[in-house]
């Protein structure tokens, strides 16, 4: 019963936020895969833009066909990305990782003072990590029994995601306190452990890109195929469809590579997406549509909504608006600061990728080798 302009506004808002979020999320995956390549081959001194380009080149041929059997490999590599660093910290400890070179040991504070910027960053990261609305329609379309989605998501998918976040977050904080930074494997020294963790990260990110990149690629493919030929042929059976599918994949990867190098910092990219776009798709628009439904349904239906549900909706709206405005502003401020201190877009970001004092003086295990070096982020010209 909503006016036509409201329907168009809601459709456009959801479509724009969904596409922008998926596009940015694919950039995070390529960025992580590029860093995975760099950490796997840390003795090969290639810059981050080059490694992200290599990741794009590797993922391009994987976009063709079905890769359902890779789901379990994806779960295994995700587990390896988290568990390998934690096992290393448990077995070898963390005291020797950041030695000062004079026999003393750096100490960590397990609990830090309240910081609104860090709270906003944490909320944005959590919102980014737990969001799933961009994939649910695709998952429902592939399910033999779509009615089973709520049970499968609540009892299987969401607990696994939450457990992975808790283990990685609390595990890293347990070992490093407020000295932990970036991804959990960024705190590993340059040895076999970081290569193994980087390999798991690399495979996990490549598979995840392929699985989730299908969502946006399929939308463009159906749209263009319908306009060109009037119907949508199967990619496996039509050479024209294969050409179109590959063209869409190449163009998408090119734009993703550009975005990746515009925001070449993992935490900043995640925070920006989690603050600016996730609340719109996951909180604001669903609640707005639900409230419109209650308005159209009349007072009898509205009266059956329990009071605590209204309170939860109000709290959710407040959190969403907080993230959209203050969280986005905080993320952009952090990004500008990192551009200034660690290098601007498309520069040779090498921090944590090269085992040199010039790039990674502050990296785990490097302080003994580089006692007089600046430990901040580094980038090289070119």
What confidence score (pLDDT) does residue 104 get? 43
Phi, psi of 99, deg, nearest 5 = -60, 150
CA distances from residue 269 to 25, 31, 260, 299 in whole angstroms, order as listed: 9, 9, 8, 44
- Does position 359 have pLDDT exceeding 90, yes or no? no
Assign 95 a pLDDT band (cuts: 50, 70, 90): low
What confidence score (pLDDT) does residue 102 get? 45
Assign 105 a pLDDT band (cuts: 50, 70, 90): very low
What confidence score (pLDDT) does residue 361 get? 81
Tell me the per-residue pLDDT of 309-358, one tens digit each, with 9 for 90 and over.
Answer: 999 999 999 999 999 999 999 999 999 998 988 888 998 888 888 888 88
93: left (phi over 0), alpha (psi -120 to 50) or beta: left
Cα–Cα distance, 272 to 120 (Å, whole number):
10
What confidence score (pLDDT) does residue 111 get? 60
What confidence score (pLDDT) does residue 178 get? 64
- Does position 146 have pLDDT exceeding 90, yes or no? no
Return the higher-pLDDT residue of 236 and 7.
7
Mean pLDDT value of segment 374-378: 50
Mean pLDDT value of segment 75-91: 87
Return the higher-pLDDT residue of 381 and 235.
235
What confidence score (pLDDT) does residue 55 get? 94
Tell me the per-residue pLDDT of 230-262, one tens digit each, with 9 for 90 and over.
Answer: 888 887 778 888 888 889 989 999 999 999 999
Tell me the per-residue pLDDT of 197-227, one tens digit each, with 9 for 90 and over.
Answer: 999 999 999 988 988 888 888 888 888 888 8
What confidence score (pLDDT) does residue 37 get? 94
Mean pLDDT value of segment 13-27: 89
3-state secondary structure the chain: CCCHHHHHHHHHHHHHHHHHHHHHHHHHHHHHHHHHHHHHCCCCCCCHHHHHHHHHHHHHHHHCCCCCCHHHHHHHHHHHHHHHHHHHHHHHCCCCCCECCCCCECCCCCCCCCCHHHHHHHHHHHHHHHCCHHHHHHHHHHCCCHHHHHHHHHHHHHHHHHHHHHHHHHHHHHHHHHHCCCCHHHHCCCCHHHHHHHHHHHHHHHHHHHHHHHHHHHHHHHHHHHHHHCCCCCCCCCHHHHHHHHHHHHHHHHHHHHHHHHCCCHHHHHHHHHHHCHHHHHHHHHHHHHHHHHHHHCHHHHCCCCHHHHHHHHHHHHHHHHHHHHHHHHHHHHHHHHHHHHCCCCCEECCCCCCCHHHHCCCCCCCCCCCCCCCCCCEECC
Return the higher-pLDDT residue of 30 and 267.
30
Assign 128 a pLDDT band (cuts: 50, 70, 90): confident
- Average pLDDT over the chain, rounded to an integer: 83
What confidence score (pLDDT) does residue 312 get? 94
């Amino acid at each position: 019963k909503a006016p036509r302009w409201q329907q168009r506004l809601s459709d456009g808002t959801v479509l724009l936020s969904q596409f922008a979020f998926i596009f940015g999320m694919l950039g995070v995956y390529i960025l992580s895969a590029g860093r995975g390549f760099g950490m796997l081959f840390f003795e090969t001194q290639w810059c981050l833009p080059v490694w992200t380009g290599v990741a794009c080149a590797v993922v391009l041929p994987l976009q063709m066909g079905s890769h359902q059997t890779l789901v379990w490999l994806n779960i295994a590599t995700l587990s390896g990305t988290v568990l390998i660093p934690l096992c290393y910290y448990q077995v070898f400890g963390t005291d020797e990782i950041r030695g000062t070179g004079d026999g003393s040991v750096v100490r960590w504070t397990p609990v830090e003072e309240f910081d609104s910027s860090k709270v906003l960053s944490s909320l944005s990261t959590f919102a980014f990590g737990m969001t799933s609305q961009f994939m649910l329609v695709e998952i429902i379309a592939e399910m033999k029994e779509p009615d089973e989605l709520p049970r499968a998501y609540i009892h299987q998918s969401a607990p696994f995601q939450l457990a992975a976040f808790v283990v990685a977050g609390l595990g890293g904080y347990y070992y490093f306190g407020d000295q932990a930074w970036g991804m959990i494997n960024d705190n590993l020294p340059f040895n076999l452990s970081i290569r193994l963790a980087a390999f798991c990260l690399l495979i996990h990110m490549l598979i995840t890109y392929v699985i989730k990149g299908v969502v946006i690629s399929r939308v463009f493919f159906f749209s263009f195929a319908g306009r060109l030929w009037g119907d949508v042929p199967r990619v496996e059976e039509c050479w024209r469809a294969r050409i179109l599918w590959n063209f869409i994949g190449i163009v998408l990867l090119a734009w993703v590579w550009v975005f990746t190098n515009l925001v070449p910092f993992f935490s900043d990219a995640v925070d920006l997406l989690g603050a600016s776009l996730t609340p719109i798709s996951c909180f604001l628009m669903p609640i707005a549509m639900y409230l419109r439904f209650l308005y159209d349904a009349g007072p009898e239906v509205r009266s059956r909504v329990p009071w605590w549900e209204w309170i939860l909706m109000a709290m959710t709206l407040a959190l969403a608006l907080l993230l959209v405005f203050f969280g986005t502003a905080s993320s952009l401020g952090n990004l500008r600061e990192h551009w200034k201190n660690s290098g601007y877009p498309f520069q040779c970001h090498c921090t944590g990728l090269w085992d040199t004092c010039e790039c990674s003086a502050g990296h785990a295990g490097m302080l003994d080798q580089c006692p007089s070096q600046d430990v901040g982020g580094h980038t090289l010209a070119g």
